[in-house]
C-alpha cells in the first residue's frame, strides 16, 4: 500500500493535532469516577449548556452513550422505535438486545429520516401481549442516509407526537455538530424536544475518544451508574476531556471545510464513468455512491482502490462510503480523484 494513504474510510480516522496533544499533556486531572477530575467536570458543564440539558456524563464512546440511554429509558422487553438504518440496529453488536433487552421497531424513513406521520402510524394501544412501547430514537445526522440532516421542524413534530403518548425520546448525536454547522441551528435547538442526547468527539471533532451524554439530572445519575457497571470509568479522564475541550474551541467551525471537501469529492465522482451519485444529497461530510456501473462490486472496488492509496468503505453490494475529515484536506481530495480517474479504481 502506498505510504501516503488518503484515508476516507471514516471521520474516526482523525488523529489529534499537535496543539490538541499539547493541551492533553497539560491537562489538570483527577479521579473522574469520584467526580474529582476538574477537566472532565468543566467539560460536562459546558456540554450540558451546549445541548440545553441539566446535566451530562462523560463516556468512552458514542456506542456506550446509546446503549446506556436505551437501558435507562427502557426496561427489558419494551420497544424502541427508530429508523431501519439506525446505528443502534446495524453497528452496535446487538447491544440493544444484549444490554438493555429491548425490542426494536424499525421505520422506513427516507435517507434515515422518518416523520411524525410514520411515527403516529407505528404507535399502538398498549396491550399485554405486545411489547410496551417506550422510546423513540433519531440519529442526527443519519449515517446510512448519507449524512442527511434532520430538518428541525420534522424533529420537533416527531418529539411532539412522542410526548402525546408519553414515549421518551433519545437523539444519537454522533454528528450533531455537523448538522449544526450545515444548517445554522444550535445543538440545543435540535435537542430541545429530546429527553437525552449525546455528542461524539472522536469523529469530525478530531479527539482520540470520548462522548458526552446529556439529559435531566436524574437521567444522568442512572446513566453514571450504568457507566460504572459496564466498565466505563476512565479515572484520570481529564487527559481525554482536554482534547474534547480543545475540539469545542477549535474544531467546530472547521467542520464546514469537511462539508466543502465532501461536495468537492462528490462532484468529482459524478464526472467519473460508472459512478452513480446524487451530488445534491451530500449535505455534510458523508459521501455515498454506487459502483455497479463500473462492473465491480463494492468489495472489489474498495480493495483495488486501497492498493492505490485511497481507503473507502464497502457499505453494500455496490454501495461505497467516503468520509471527509480534518486529516483529509482539499489537496488530498483532489489526489484521491486523480487516483480514482486513473482507471483501476473507477472502471472494470
Count of other CB atoms within 10 angstroms of residue 77: 12
Domain spanning 254-340: CATH 3.30.43.10: no
At the topology level, CATH places domain 18-250 in: 3.40.640
> Fold match between 18-250 and 254-340?
no
Q: Where are the alpha helices (DSSP H) in 230-287?
A: 238-250, 255-270
For the record, the C-alpha cell of 99 comes out as 444490554
Asked if the peptide bond before residue 141 counts as cis, ω within 30 degrees of 0, the response is: yes
Query: Residue 302: which of 292, 290, 315, 311 has the closest Cα?
Result: 311
Where are the domains positioned within the chain? 18-250, 254-340
**What is the reported pLDDT for 4?**
85
**For position 344, what pLDDT does the model report?**
42
Cβ neighbour number for residue 93 with a 10 Å cutoff: 11
Give the C-alpha separation, 332 to 329, whole Å.
5
Cis peptide before 89 (omega within 30 of 0): no
- Looking at residue 342, what is its pLDDT? 82
pLDDT value at position 3? 55
Q: What is the mean pLDDT of each run of 10 residues along the chain (348 residues)?
A: 81 96 98 97 98 98 98 98 98 97 98 98 95 98 98 98 98 98 98 98 96 98 98 95 98 98 98 97 98 97 97 98 97 97 51
**168 three-class SS:** strand
Amino acid at each position: 500500500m502506498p505510504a501516503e494513504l488518503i484515508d476516507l474510510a471514516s471521520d474516526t480516522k482523525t488523529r489529534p493535532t499537535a496543539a490538541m496533544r499539547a493541551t492533553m499533556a497539560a491537562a489538570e486531572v483527577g479521579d473522574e469516577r469520584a467526580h474529582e477530575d476538574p477537566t472532565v467536570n468543566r467539560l460536562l458543564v459546558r456540554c450540558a449548556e451546549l445541548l440545553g440539558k441539566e446535566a451530562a456524563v462523560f463516556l468512552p464512546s458514542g456506542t456506550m452513550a446509546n446503549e446506556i440511554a436505551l437501558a435507562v429509558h427502557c426496561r427489558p422487553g419494551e420497544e424502541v422505535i427508530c429508523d431501519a438504518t439506525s446505528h443502534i440496529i446495524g453497528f452496535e453488536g446487538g447491544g440493544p438486545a444484549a444490554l438493555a433487552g429491548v425490542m426494536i421497531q424499525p421505520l422506513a424513513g427516507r435517507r434515515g429520516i422518518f416523520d411524525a406521520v410514520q411515527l403516529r402510524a407505528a404507535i399502538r394501544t398498549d396491550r399485554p401481549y405486545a411489547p410496551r412501547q417506550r422510546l423513540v430514537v433519531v440519529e442526527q445526522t443519519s449515517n446510512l442516509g448519507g449524512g442527511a440532516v434532520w430538518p428541525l421542524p420534522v424533529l420537533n413534530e416527531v418529539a411532539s407526537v412522542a410526548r402525546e403518548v408519553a414515549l421518551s425520546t433519545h437523539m444519537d448525536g454522533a454528528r450533531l455538530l455537523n448538522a449544526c454547522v450545515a444548517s445554522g441551528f444550535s445543538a440545543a435547538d435540535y435537542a430541545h424536544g429530546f429527553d437525552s442526547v449525546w455528542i461524539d468527539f472522536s469523529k469530525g471533532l478530531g479527539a482520540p475518544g470520548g462522548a458526552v451524554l446529556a439529559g435531566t439530572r436524574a437521567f444522568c445519575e442512572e446513566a453514571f451508574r450504568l457507566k460504572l457497571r459496564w466498565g466505563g470509568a476512565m479515572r484520570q479522564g481529564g487527559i481525554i476531556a482536554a482534547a474534547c475541550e480543545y475540539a469545542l474551541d477549535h474544531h467546530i467551525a472547521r467542520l464546514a471545510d469537511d462539508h466543502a471537501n465532501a461536495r468537492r469529492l462528490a462532484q468529482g465522482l459524478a464526472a467519473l464513468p460508472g459512478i452513480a451519485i446524487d451530488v445534491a444529497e451530500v449535505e455534510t461530510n458523508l459521501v455515498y455512491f454506487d459502483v455497479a456501473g463500473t462492473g465491480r462490486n463494492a468489495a472489489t472496488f474498495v480493495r483495488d482502490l486501497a492498493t492505490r492509496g485511497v481507503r473507502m468503505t464497502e457499505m453494500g453490494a455496490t454501495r461505497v462510503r467516503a468520509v471527509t475529515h480534518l486529516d483529509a484536506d482539499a489537496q488530498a481530495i483532489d489526489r484521491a480523484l486523480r487516483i480514482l480517474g486513473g482507471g483501476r479504481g473507477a472502471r472494470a
